[in-house]
Structure 1
Amino acid sequence: MMEYKGYIGKVEFDDEAEIFHGEVVNTRDVITFQGTTVAEIKQAFHDSVEDYLDFCAQLGHEPEKPFTGKFMVRIPPDLHRRIYSSARIAGKSMNAWVIEQLKQSTAFVH
């Protein structure tokens, strides 16, 4: 994984073609890049993000932000009830309680 301007690039190596290829994974827009060396793939990633931002500017469109801050998830009703009850017991809103739990479980990820 690589990060540039908030965009996260995932890179894979194609052994047959002997090339690195990647894509930005935290936007719905399609942003891809490729290179034959680590230096090339990093530069291609940065160039692709810059090209995307320039393209959006030329069209007068706002580039898609990597994250909106909204997280929608479907869960079983019983788990929903348990989360709600746990939040109430902790004296927090369900949103605040879930954020706290997610922060604790992802503390090692930057």
Structure 2
Amino acid sequence: MNAMTYKGYSGRVDYDDDDEIFFGRIAGIRDGVSFHSETVAGLKAAFHEAVDDYVETCAKIGKSPQKPYSGNLMLRVDPSVHSKVALAAEVAGKSLNQWGEEVLREAADKQIA
């Protein structure tokens, strides 16, 4: 799996070897918006078109387009994990939010790469 971004939206991309086609959907929103192409360049253009069409269609029907993620994250973990995370942040000289954002960003970058 790979991802692409455009105008704040991300696209989740896969490849179907049987049909020899790239396909994807806008990630992080509940509305189902998909796109596809046989080439990487075409896929990028199809993704941009899908995002633009989504925003334009929402405007036409008077609906606010869903925005991908607000930046607020509610996370429930075992109390022992919470304790370790708080300690790790303190030892690093960072707030829990700063430490968590750094660790989550590194893990996400590694997963997406």
- The TM-score range, normalised by the shorter chain, is 0.7 to 0.9
Choose 1 or 2 for highest CA Rg.
1
Which structure has more relative contact order (CA 8 Å, sep 6+)? It is 2
Say which of 54, 78, 90 aligns to 2:80.
78
Compute the TM-score of the two structures, normalised by the length of structure 2. 0.75
Q: What's the % identity of the aligned pairs? A: 42
The CA deviation string for residues 6-32 of structure 1, in whole angstroms up to 9 with x for no partner, is: 111122111111211111222232111
Aligned partners of 1:35, 1:106: CA distance in 2, in Å?
26
One-letter amino acid of the counterpart of residue 24, structure 2: G
State the 4+ residue runs in structure 1 displaced beyond 4 angstroms.
85-93, 103-110
Unaligned runs of 5+ in 2: none
> What count of residue pairs does the alignment treat as equivalent?
110
Q: Specify the alignment match of 2:54 in structure 1.
A: 52
TM-aligned CA deviation for residue 75 of structure 1: 0.8
TM-score normalized with structure 1 length: 0.77
Structure 1 residues not aligned, in runs of 5+: none
